[in-house]
Amino acid sequence: MKKTQRWRTAGAFGGGLLALAITLLWWDARHLCYVKSMALLHQFASPSGAQPWLLRAVGQRVVHEQTVRLPLPDGSSTRARYFYPQGQESSAPGVVLAHGVHHEGMDEPRLRRFATALASTGVVVFTPEISELVDYRIDPASVTTLGVAANELRHHIHRAQVGVMGLSFSGGLALLAASDSRYAPAIGFVMPMGAYDDLARVFTFLLTGSSIDPDGQTHLLPAHEYGVFVLAYRYVDELFTPEDCALARQVLHHWLWEERDQARALATQLSGPGQATLDSLFRHDIANVPALRLVFAQHQNEADSLSPARFLANLRTPVFLLHGAGDSVIPATETSWLARHIPAPYLQNVLISQAIQHVEMNGTVTWRDRWALIDFMAKVLQKIKE
């Protein structure tokens, strides 16, 4: 998102915030969560993370960070970061916040901004680095990392349970962790944002731009090229010849890191067929890469093993589902499917919103959309404070 667009987005949530906050505080002090929700969303939307003076006055906390190592069951460890609300380091409730598929991992600016905004409401936020997602892979090991992070956080803050929030693909992984008997006791609620229900169905969308909702309706939306490159990177060994494979992996790596000139320069060193495949991917001409569909079909079982849809019958954890209506990486129909598959007693709230895109704010929306998002986040904050 361009800088000017980000500032307009922040302004959209900032404009009128003070008057609405005063109204809510006058109305009933119990509704302070709504003010904190507005503050959180304003900070997330703002590139500077700045707080309006009234929202500071009603209790938004200064946040400080601590980077640590999180031990994993296989004897390795991964980086992780605590975000502490000043003055509440040992008394605040906690939330694990998981990044999506991105090479910056826990350092990704949107994740850090959201973690800081959430911590400023009086929550200890823990962001583990999920190495498979950093390497653009959806993998069962990531579920383990999330479950271990939830256990680590609850022991660290001396709480019986903590919440888990997952952005994008980590939202589906968070639901898998909450459905796993090894980790479920540590997880008090899950809030996936832009999550998937069925990984194979998402891959089909990325290849076709078509998704189907639980009522059988087909929705057409141009899929973001990013998702196709993640697929190609994951199965590079099967898309390119052994002679081209190592170099093709480097090309795809540069492209995913948004180093497009380096990617195109390296691509010229591949064989003729390898260059043709990459040229089609660069132009997002999926029809000319039939091998991608074939490889995807061959890995159906792998996709099924990582799909919440197959495991949600075991879920006994409250869930708040949030999705951007125009998400072009994971279509919003996936949240409709999640709402169908999550056991009814545990589905707390569902919002498919015009006010967010994939995992960022959209400022060009109505006040009705903004209020629905504020209301959704206020209910999540209420759950955290229980």
Nearest-CA neighbor of 333 among 232, 208, 213, 233?
A: 213
Q: Is the pLDDT of residue 346 over 80?
A: yes
**Which two structure tokens, joined as six digits, stand for 317?**
């954890």
Token pair 């991608």 in the structure block, residue: 292
The answer to which of 179-183, 190-194, 289-293, 343-347 has the lowest mean pLDDT is 289-293
The answer to which of 94-98, 188-192, 233-237, 345-349 has the lowest mean pLDDT is 233-237
pLDDT averaged over every residue in the chain: 88
Q: What is the pLDDT of residue 61?
A: 75
CA–CA distance, 345 with 330 (Å, rounded to integer)? 25
Q: Is the pLDDT of residue 160 over 60?
A: yes
β-strands 187-193, 218-220: how paired? unpaired
Query: 21-80 pLDDT, tens per residue?
Result: 545 444 454 567 887 888 788 777 776 555 555 455 555 678 999 999 999 999 999 999
CA–CA distance, 212 with 197 (Å, rounded to integer)? 12
Rounded to a whole number, what is the largest CA-CA distance in the chain? Answer: 70
The answer to which of 33-42, 158-167, 345-354, 373-382 has the lowest mean pLDDT is 33-42
Query: 255-279 pLDDT, tens per residue?
Result: 999 999 999 999 999 999 999 999 9
240 — phi, psi (to 5°)?
-125, 155
Q: What is the pLDDT of residue 31?
A: 67
Domain boundaries of the chain, sorted by first residue = 1-60+359-386, 65-197+314-353, 236-298
Query: 84-114 pLDDT, tens per residue?
Result: 998 877 779 999 999 999 999 999 998 999 9
Q: Is the pLDDT of residue 333 over 50?
A: yes
Angle between helices 333-341 and 199-208 (to 10 degrees): 160
Task: Write the burial class of residue 314 (CB in 10 Å: 0-12 exposed, 13-18 middle, 19+ buried).
Answer: middle
105-123 exposure pattern, b = at least 16 Cβ within 10 A, e = fewer: bbbbebbbbbbbbbbbbbb
pTM: 0.88
- For residues 359 and 193, is the Cβ–Cβ distance under 8 A? yes
Q: What is the pLDDT of residue 3?
A: 41
CA–CA distance, 321 with 349 (Å, rounded to integer)? 6
Give residue 173's Cα distance to chain centre: 10
User: How many other β-carbons are positioned within 10 Å of the β-carbon of residue 257?
Assistant: 14
Fold of 65-197+314-353: Rossmann fold (3.40.50)
